[in-house]
Amino acid sequence: MPRELVHRAAIAEVYLTSFSQTGEDEFEISAQWPRSHMFYRTLNGAVDSALLTETFRQATVLIAHLGYAVPLEHSFLMPDMQVTRCEDYLGSGDRPAELRLKLSAVEVRRTPKSVVGLRVDGTFTCDGTLIGRASAGARFIDPRSYLRYRTRHRKAAAAAHRVVAVEPSRVGAATHSGVLLVQSAGNDNWPLRVDVTHPVYFDHTLDHVPGAVLLEAARQAIRLKMNDPNLDFSQLQASFHSIAELDQIQTVTALTVPSSDGITDTWTVTIQSNEETHMTATFARVHSDVSPMGPRISDSPNSPYRGATKERCPGGENPTSGEPAPARRLGR
């Protein structure tokens, strides 16, 4: 798959392998996930929610370009995204995971000249088993309009200052460059730390902080708050309200959502700067992913998660059946 069609510079960061249009607004896309990665946790067949999110972003961009002829030079804005992870592990991890995405474009918005926006809904399957669902909105802006938009909304740069990053081991980062939070005296909020040289976060030059960085910063904040670098989520609902500037100081705030059963597995995360909100997100069914055979947070005898079960996608291998798919490791 040509990398420019998914807005990537590095060929290694392109996960889509084929595209076909099966109906007026229906599409099928194949994807392959790597056996290991410097950022995504795919070792031993693990399903990383961040990789689900990135794969769906690429699919949405690809559909816009190939399905609706959105020009390559147009800028993309995603106002919202929802992701549900149905499986934790795909198999032994002895080969790259092969996925199939079935997608529908809805709410397609057109002008006399071009498509200017749409929503994509889709499912991920691997070996016939449903492993995820996702939905995302997208807006497409021509270069002149984007320049006017960015000029109108830019604010004065914040003063530069020295920051000390959180230790990578506390947030599940492989290296210091992958840490997105700055050490803070606060218990619920941390300044955002952005390294524009990171080869995954900034695969190519950007004029803003990408949504993927905001989502990962939110996940790291929850990991830090829960003192568990292996936490991941099964459900995400995120809204992106405004562009986060590279030269502004953003604050990441993570708060728990009270539940009647006492299990703290839902979080809200807000990212703001200068009293402007850039992203609000809810992460549900937060649990610990240690290893395919390792203990989970719900398995600990002292854990409030003990006995809890994750809410899974309806449908299993038949997404329309309405029955929840059982949690399991897929055979290969």
Q: State both tokens at 13.
A: 């960061």
Q: How many CA atoms lie within 13 A of 188 on its CB side?
A: 9
Same domain, 170 and 75: no
d(CA 15, CA 264): 33
Same domain, 194 and 277: yes
Q: Is residue 247 part of a domain?
A: yes
Q: State both tokens at 233.
A: 């989520």
- Model pTM score: 0.85
Q: How many C-beta atoms lie closer than 10 Å to residue 22's C-beta? A: 11
Same domain, 262 and 185: yes
Last residue of a domain, which of 142, 171, 206?
142
Last residue of a domain, which of 116, 142, 168?
142
Q: Is residue 155 part of a domain?
A: no
Same domain, 164 and 133: no
Same domain, 126 and 206: no
Which CATH number covers residue 8? Answer: 3.10.129.10
Q: In 3D, which of 175, 195, 233, 150 has the Cα closest to residue 37?
A: 175
d(CA 275, CA 74): 29
Q: Is residue 147 part of a domain?
A: no
d(CA 88, CA 85): 8
Q: In 3D, which of 268, 269, 211 has the Cα closest to residue 244?
A: 211
Q: Is the dihedral of CA 66, 69, 74, 75 positive or negative?
A: negative
Strand-pair partners of 115: 110
d(CA 329, CA 89): 5
Q: Is residue 317 part of a domain?
A: no
Q: Is residue 153 part of a domain?
A: no
DSSP 3-state assignment of 215? helix
Q: Mind listing the pLDDT tens digit of every residue in the chain (332 residues)?
A: 999 999 999 999 999 999 999 999 999 999 999 988 989 888 778 899 999 999 999 999 999 999 999 999 999 999 999 999 998 888 767 889 999 999 999 999 999 989 999 999 999 999 999 999 999 999 999 999 989 988 876 665 554 556 899 999 999 998 899 999 999 877 899 999 998 999 999 999 899 999 999 999 999 999 999 999 999 999 999 999 999 999 889 999 999 887 766 566 899 999 999 889 999 999 998 877 654 333 333 333 333 333 333 455 654 443 333 333 333 334 43
Q: How many domains does the chain have?
A: 2
Q: Amino acid identity, residue 136? A: A
Model pLDDT for residues 11-49, shown as the tens digit of each residue: 999 999 999 999 999 999 999 999 889 898 887 788 999
Rounded to whole angstroms, what are the CA distances from 286 to 64, 68, 154?
Answer: 32, 36, 35
- Domain assignment of residue 96, given as a range: 1-142
Specify whether the CB–CB gap between 201 and 215 falls below 8 A.
no
Q: In 3D, which of 47, 122, 57 has the Cα closest to residue 86?
A: 47
For every residue of 94-133, DSSP letters joined together read SSPEEEEEEEEEEEEEE-SS-EEEEEEEEEEEETTEEEEE
